[in-house]
Structures are given as C-alpha cells and as structure tokens.
Structure 1
C-alpha cells in the first residue's frame, strides 16, 4: 500500500511539474547561478584598488563600482520578480544570465571609468531579473517538503558562504591574473548555465493577473537613484545645492511611489507588507545590514591594501573574520529563535556589531592586525549573524500567501538599497574627512634638490628606492607618505563611527516597536538570497 501510494504521489508530482524528473540537475544550475551572483557582490571589492589605479578613478567615484550594481539590483528586484513569474521563468533566467554575461564582459574590458560603472549597473539590472527567476524555478521544481528543504539548504549555504569565496577568489584573480578577470570569469560560467537551462529546464509561468506596475517601477528606480547620487554629491559639502536638490527630488519620488502603490490594483510593492509593526523594523534592519556589509566594510579593503600594503589575497583573507562570525552566530540564532523569539536576538546583535565597528575607529597606520583589527571584525560578524536570522524571519510574519514573494524580495531589495546608500554616504564622509585632515595638516616642505615631489608620491617607494635617496629627500617622502596614510586612517575612523551608529539604531527600534513572539514566526523555510 505504501509503495502504491508513493508511486501515485510521484506520478502526480511529475505531471504537475515538468522539471520533476530533472530536479537535481535544475538544482545544480540554480546553485551555480546563485554562487555567481553572490560572488559578484564581493569579488570586485578586493580588485577595486587596482581597478582604480588602472582606470584613473577618483577616490570620490570609486565606490560607484559597488554602488551602481547594488542600486540597480535593489531598485529593480521587485519588478524582476514580477517579470519572471509572468513572462516565463526559464525565459527570464536565460535573458538575465545572458545580459549578465554581456555586462560582465563590458566591465572586464573597460578602458574608461564610466564604462566600468555602466557595466556594473548592467550586471545589477540583469541580476534583478535572473535571481528571482532562479529562485522561482527552484520553488516550483521542488514541491516535496523534504526535498525542498534539502534544495533550499544548498541555496542558503551558497548565499551565506559565497561572499567569503568571492573575497578569496577576487584576491587570487587580481594577484595572479588581473582585476579584469574578476568580471570576465562570469562569462564562461554564464554560457554553460544558459545552455544547461535551455536543455534541462522546462518553462513555467504564474497564473492570474499578469499586469505590470511600470509606473511604480520607474518611480522607485528614479527616486532611489536620485537619493544615492545626492549623497555622493555631499562630498562637496552636505549643504551644497546639488546634494540637497537630488536628495529632495529622490525623497519626493519615493513618496510618489508610495502614493501610486497605495492606489494600484496590482502594486509592485503592497504597502501592507512594508507598513507593519513587526515587519517594518525588519526591513529597516535589512537596510542597515546592507549599509554595513556593502558600504562600510568596503573601506576595510582600502585599509588593508592601501595603508597596510597587503596583497589582494591577504586582503581577502584578512576580511574573512566577519563571514566566520556570521556563520557562528547564525547557527546559534537558528537554535535560539524557536525558544526565545526574535526580539532578544534582534536587540543584542546590533549592539555587538556596533562595538566591533567602534573598535575599528582605533586602528592606525601601523596597527597589528591580530591585536587591533581581528577582534573587531569577529565582533561585527557575531553581531550581524545574531541579527540576520531573526530579522529575515520577522520580515515574513503575517504576510498573506500571495504577498510572500514580494516580502522575500523586499528583504533582498532593502539590503541592496541599503548597501548603495551606505556606500554613497560613507564615501562622502570619507572624502570630506580626508580633505579636512589634509587641510589641517599641511604637506611637508620638499627639499630644494627634489625636482618633482608630486611624481614620487604616486605610490609608496620600496626600501631599495628609499635607500637610494638622499637623506633630505628620504625624510620628505616618508613624511609625505605618513601624512597621506594618516589622512586615510582618520577618514576610515569617521566612516566606522557612523556605521556603528547606523547599526546600533536597530536596537531601540526593535525594543520599542517589535511585538513578535516565537509563536508568531512563519512556518517553513525562509530563503533570502544575498547579492
């Protein structure tokens, strides 16, 4: 009787799901896709200093390599989810992957900074179509609860560990090949994935109303873009006309987006998902986490490679304690969440992360990594891991079934948008802080025998080069290098201090607003893909 029942169940599953017989091959394709997307969020971080030097990107503009990707991804992710459901999941996957490969090739071959920025934005646009399609294919393919749990476990493990792999792979490719291969590596992977999807994956679409909320998509994309650009203009002064104007326009467009969504029959973002006593703080937390993971930690790469003179591989390894900390407390949080509920974890985690960020305000030009940097990064990771797991679960509390996809996508979108806004804000803070330090600490007077002091300061001279210099020139060069490095570190201190405030703000919001108990948590798997 059991065997007959199982066969009947399997037969009905196979009939309702055209991908059932090839479901494990589908999982491999989706897993490779997820790995590529997650890698791309961090792989360029390590390559950025070399890309900046190669393409003559200014300090104020270099974070656009990260911001352009995160902003396009986050702003269009909700629309990408709708498109993949209505247009066809396999078709969306193939188009998204193909476009991602083309954008990666353009970025890897870029000869001007604007070409790299446009390519990164292109990656974000196609990732916003690709990632929801991949997750939707996985969802409709694995309908058996046990098999779905295994599939989502693989998906989640890649989402969690891919960032660390990206840092290491970025270091290896940058050091032994070129920073360009951090982008070009996507091309062969994408070609294989597209061919496999065409051969293996069968098409599927959502039923029902298939209208698109294009006005909402345009308003939110333009609004977020204006906000981010306004914050980048703040490097010229927080009261500058351009900064205030773009920020004001961005806020107005976001408000207009809310107005449109409230009156739309088929909204891109149902406002009931966002404006909820428990879910609202979860989305706020997601945005702050994105600001830290994408925006603030980017400056660790600059500190390691510019100030401490680490190689790309060493910089990648030096950044990994954050990921290790997240892994440790993510497991602990998963075990504690059913016992204590989300509020205690979401209240304590941000405080621990904030302490770690504050410890980073004590780093110096000659700081010991193990004594000064490592403990701080571990605390940041431990705190974020304690926060992320309950935050992702709270984001789905009380969400109706037909809005579950929008709520899950919103977690990812807020994290990406938070990363874009964080990178813009922190870059403005960094640029203004560095300039203030250099203004308050004038450059040393060059010796009369030094014909071109500016030319000698393009990079840190080697010990052999210093030994060959006259003593007066050597003293001048060392003093100049120390001044520049002190300016860098002083600016990093300000960035990490503000980042600590950002993440710490989560705790009072959670304490005062969140009411969710352990029994309120959604049943089943919560899958949130990092990007």
Structure 2
C-alpha cells in the first residue's frame, strides 16, 4: 500500500519538497532497490534470529523511516529514508509468509491462507491508489503530502504492539552462523542488476548501465560458487540450493517470472497511452485503474477460497481472462472514439483476471515447501517478483517507447499494439505452463 500511495502522490511530493523529476524517480527507485536487494537476506534472517524478533524489528524500523520521510526537509533526506524503508520492509515481509505454516499446519488451510495473503496485494493496491490521490488534498496538516508517510506511524506502532503481544516466539530451528559474506554478495548482485534495469531504459541505456548488468552476472556466478563452497565445508549457505529440487517451487517461480513481466509493464504502457495517446486526463486515468483494482478485489475474494480445491485450474482461468481482456484492449483502444463505459468494462475484466491468477501464484510456488524453509523460499519468490517486474518494464516499455521514438516514429496505437501483443505472448506461455503442470502434489523436501 505504501508503494502505491507514493506512486500516485508523487506530483504533490515533488511540489512540497521542491524536488526535480530525477529526485522523484529516486523516491520509487531507492525503495525498490532496498526492498528487492535484501528480501532473501531478510527471509533467511528470520530463520536464524527468530521470525517474531525480525518481523517486529523490521516493522519498527519501517515505522521510524516513515516518520523520517514525513518530516524530510529535502529530497536527499527523503530518499535516504525511502531506502531504509525498503530495507526494513525486506526483513519484515517474508516473516509474514513464514508464519503461515506455523499458524496453519494443515496443508489445505495453509494453501487457502497463502491465497488470502496473495489477495491482500490487490486490496492494498486499490487502497493505495485511492489514498494516494486523496491524502495530499486533505487539509489536516500543512503540506498534506507528508501525511502519505505519516499515516504509516500509527499503523506501524499498532502492528508492533499487537505483534509483540500475540505472535508466538517460535524456537529457532537453524543451526550454524548466518552467512554475512553470502548476504553481501547477493545484495551487490541484485543491486547491480535492478538499478540499471530501472534506470537504464529511462536514460536510453548508457554504457554504465550495460556494464553494471554484466557485473551482476559475474557477481551471481561468484555468489553461486561461494554457496557451493559453504556446502562442501559443512557451513550453512544463505540459499539452500536443494530448494530448487522441488518441482512445485521451480514451476511456480517460472510461471511467476513470466506473469510479472506483464504486471507493471501493463500499467506503464496503458498510463502513457491513455494520457498521451488518447488525451485522457490524469484524474480520469486514475479512476480507470481504480476500476481495474476493484475487479481484482472482487475476483480475489471470490476465487481465493477455490484455490485449495481446484488448484491450477483457478490460475489458468485467470490467465485466459487476462488474455481475452488484452485482446479487447487492442480492439477498443484502436477506435476513433472510445466510450468511457467500454474502457471501464475492459479494465475491470482485466482486473478480474489478475485477481483470479495472482493470489494463487504464491500458493503454487510455496505449497510443498517445508516449514523450516518457508522464510528463505518466500524471500526468493518475492525477489524474483521484483526482478521480473523490472525486466518487464525494461523490455515491454522499451518496445513501446522505441516504436514512438524511432526515426520512422510510429503513432501511439501502433506502439501500444506491439507492446500489448508482447504481453499477450507472455501470458500465453503462462497459460501453457499452467495447463502442462501436474495436478497432483509433489512430495515436499524433508
């Protein structure tokens, strides 16, 4: 919710802080880098130091960082606080997923609760988009944009108090020392991968961005070698490579990777096409996306309880609805005059598809992961999600903007058509993989 609130409220933040466009881009980038780079480390930390302790510490630091954002007097102060927000969220979020097997040891209930957890993302996105547009205009305090961050303070403190009182302090089940060297290598790997992916397209892929991408590959190879070395020496690695022997986990990661290539690139190309290509106002565009979010919430509430019973069939239905909705996007957005009701209906339908498939993706990946590995596996899943989102924006956004900026510049409908066809292609592969995936559960790791 915090991320979506800030995305929508950026214009108000820019005015209030007297920042530049680059400063405002960093408001998003610094959070994502801090979050994505530390997710695996955060998930593993819960297994070594205790899920409750890491969760409460992460929540408390996130709350303090939110207060710092709300009180920031310059763009530099704001972006430092946003980076700390991202890191603290990376330690906090995986613990929420890791608690699920402890709270729901029954496999059927666990599958259902993983789906519920996944559906929260859609509800949070709708709430974030709504509050991000509303809060800066409220005259509760001077410079209303500060409330975008300060609203986290009472919520965070309440969560810390309730968590301290009600969450069980479970015994730590992991032996050995925490792999700080591996953690540092992984953070450097992910930072050198994600930062150029986010910034490279915006800056037309300067040389430094390409060099950083190559460096990330080198660092990844070093990290893998170091993890195998730890295993040979009898030490505990940061990432247990045995996780990738789990078929459900591998298949879930692959399907999620392809799905998240579409997730945020859809919002990027549709936002630009609606406003710059079709002349729709920013306020009206926001309203359309809220309709898409409402579709997500309706579908997630209805379909999430069905995941435990019907499994991959729910996900497959969602991906097919999304493909159909994108086909209608191509037809409707190519009309000379597009009735507002058509746009609302087609975005709502797309949201229904998202709300049907998205909550079940995490369930698909983590359903047969043993309790002791849930923190690490959830960190890997969430990290891959963020990397895939960055790749999707770079690839699909790159196709879209290259069409517009080529020597023979294509009109918006043509650029939009090529980018949307690429997203349809990704979703077709997702559908094929879901169709081919076995219905039966595989034996989990011991």
Q: Place the TM-score, normalised by the shorter chain, in its bin.
A: 0.7 to 0.9
User: 69-78 or 324-333, which moves further after superposition?
Assistant: 324-333
Q: 3-state DSSP class of the match of 1:250?
A: helix
1:247 aligns with 2:213: yes
Is 1:237 the equivalent of 2:204? yes
**Alpha-carbon distance between aligned partners in 2 of 1:321 and 1:422, rounded to the nearest angstrom:** 23
1:518 aligns with 2:439: yes
Query: What SS class does the counterpart of residue 517 from structure 1 fall into?
Result: coil
The size of the alignment, in residue pairs, is 431
Q: Which residue matches 2:11?
A: 49
Mapping for residues 445-464 of structure 1, pairs under 5 Å: none
Instruction: Compute the displacement of 1:125 (Å).
Output: 0.7
In the alignment, is residue 103 of structure 1 matched against residue 40 of structure 2? no
Distance 1:362 1:101, change over 3 A: farther
Q: Match for residue 377 of structure 1? A: 347
* 1:326 lines up with 2:247 in the alignment: no
Per-residue CA distance 1:218-255 (angstroms, 9 max, x = gap): 233222222232232344434x4222212211222233
Separation of aligned partners in 2, 1:388 and 1:46: 22
Aligned in 2, Cα 1:117/1:514: closer, same or farther, shift over 3 Å? farther
Check whether the contact 2:316–2:435 (CA below 8 A) recurs between aligned residues: no
Q: Is the 8 Å Cα contact of residues 277 and 515 (structure 1) preserved in structure 2?
A: no
Indicate the residue corresponding to 2:160 in structure 1: 194
- Of 350, 361, 364, 1:394 maps to 364
Q: Which digits, 9 at most, give the CA deviation of each residue in 1:21-74, with x for residues without a partner? A: xxxxxxxxxxxxxxxxxx113111211233344456555664443343233223
Counterpart of 1:416 (choices 369, 386, 409) is 386
Q: Residues of 1 paired with 2:273 and 2:146: CA distance?
A: 21
Cα distance in 2, alignment partners of residues 92 and 516 from structure 1: 35
**Deviations 1:446-504 (CA, angstroms, capped at 9, x unpaired):** xxxxxxxxxxxxxxxxxxxxxxxxxxxxxxxxxxxxxxxxx9x94x9747843652463
In the TM superposition, residue 127 of structure 1 has moved relative to its aligned partner by 0.8
The structure with the largest alpha-carbon Rg is 1
Aligned to 1:498: 419
Q: In structure 1, which of residues 76, 87, 107 is the aligned counterpart of residue 49 of structure 2?
A: 87
Please list every run of 5 or more consecutive structure 1 residues that lacks an aligned counterpart in the other structure: 1-38, 442-486, 524-531
Residue 73 of structure 1: aligned partner? 35
Alignment partners' CA distance in 1, 2:10 and 2:119:
26
Conserved in 2, the CA contact under 8 Å of 1:80 and 1:129? Answer: yes
Cα 1:63/1:495, change in 2 over 3 Å: farther
Structure 1 residue 507 and structure 2 residue 428: aligned?
yes
CA distance in 1, matches of 2:26, 2:191: 12
Mapped contact 2:119–2:304 kept (Cα < 8 A): no
Using the alignment, how far apart are the partners of 1:41 and 1:270 within structure 2? 30
Please tell me whether the aligned partners of residues 346 and 507 of structure 1 are also in contact (alpha carbons under 8 angstroms): no
In the TM superposition, residue 87 of structure 1 has moved relative to its aligned partner by: 1.5
Kindly indicate whether the alpha-carbon contact (under 8 Å) linking 2:114 and 2:363 is maintained by their aligned counterparts in 1: no
Partner of 1:121: 83
TM-score (norm 1): 0.67
1:352/1:408 Cα in 2 relative to 1: closer, same or farther (>3 Å)? farther
Q: Secondary structure at the match of 1:520?
A: coil
The DSSP-based 3-state class of the residue aligned with 1:519 is coil
Q: TM-score, normalised by structure 2?
A: 0.78
Deviations 1:94-117 (Å, cap 9, x if unpaired)? 321121112212323334444433
Query: Cα distance, 1:144 vs. partner?
Result: 7.8
Unmatched segments (≥5 aa) in structure 2: none
| Residue in 2 that maps onto 1:228 | 194
**Distance in 1 between residues matched to 2:77 and 2:400, nearest whole Å:** 24
1:355 & 1:60 partners in 2: Cα distance? 35
CA RMSD for the aligned pairs? 4.2
1:351 matched to 2:272? The reply is no
- Return the alpha-carbon distance in structure 1 between the equivalents of residues 414 and 420 of structure 2: 10
Contact 1:349–1:383 (CA under 8 A) maintained in structure 2: yes
Provide the C-alpha distance between the structure 2 equivalents of 1:300 and 1:60, rounded to a whole number of angstroms: 22
Q: Secondary structure at the match of 2:33?
A: helix
Does 59-68 or 93-102 show the bigger shift?
59-68
In 1, distance between residues paired with 2:109 and 2:248?
31
Partners of 1:346 and 1:518 lie apart in 2 by 17
Q: Distance in 1 between matches of 2:43 and 2:350?
A: 31
Using the TM superposition, give the Cα deviation of residue 377 of structure 1 relative to its aligned residue in structure 2, in angstroms: 1.8
* Residue 179 in structure 1 maps to residue 141 in structure 2: no
Aligned position for 1:466: none
